Amino acid sequence: MEITHIEHIGIAVKSIEEQLPYYEGVLGLKCYNIETVEDQKVKTAFFKIGQTKIELLEPTSEESTIAKFIEKRGEGIHHIAYATTDVNEALKEVEAKGVRLIDQQARAGAEGLRIAFLHPKTTGSVLTELCEHPE
């Protein structure tokens, strides 16, 4: 597996709108996309810094894993996402090395990416996402 860069850092927030003054007004970043991922019950907002993004994650339902995360740990960094060239191949490789998978196969994520999560229990407590840009 080859990791090319950090694709994004996911940050759990109660309200994207309430955080915009910080990201846009203070940091001077521009939110270029807001998108709801229905099956994740989450609304996402993206900012680009070089080829890396900040992804704000706002729960759209109490059932959302983001809602549960905020309830348990408060707002803050939720996951790190590495860009790789072939997520399914990478999943096989890390699983063979003893990493527990949350997703057995790549699935559709925000922005048309193919994504899969690794279990934090086997990644030093960091929820880890692998992403692949569609070609």
Binding residues for Zn ion, rule CB under 5 A, total 3
Residue 52 tokens, joined: 């890396």
- Comparing CB distances to Zn ion, the nearer of 14 and 25 is 14
Query: Which residues contact residue 133 at a Cβ distance below 8 angstroms, ignoring those fewer than 6 apart?
Result: 83, 113
Quickly tell me which residue has 């109490």 as its tokens. Answer: 62
10 sits near Zn ion (criterion: CB under 5 A)? yes
Maximum CA extent, the chain: 45
Check if the beta carbon of residue 11 is closer than 8 Å to that of residue 59: no
Stretch that binds Zn ion, among 33-41, 73-81, 91-99, 120-128 (CB under 5 A): 73-81
Run of H or E residues at 128:
strand 128-132
Of 98 and 134, nearer to Zn ion (C-beta) is 134
Nearer to Zn ion, 129 or 132 (CB): 129
Q: Counting contacts by CB under 5 A, is residue 87 touching Zn ion?
A: no
Q: Is 81 in the site for Zn ion (CB under 5 A)?
A: yes
Nearest-approach distance from CB 58 to Zn ion, in angstroms: 13
Binding-site string for Zn ion from residue 26 to residue 65, where x marks contact by CB under 5 A and - marks none: ----------------------------------------
Cα–Cα distance for residue pair 125/20, rounded to 1 Å: 28
| Least CB distance to Zn ion at residue 11 (A) | 10
Helices vs. strands in the chain: H and E counts, helices first:
3, 8
Residues that bind Zn ion (CB under 5 A): 10, 81, 129
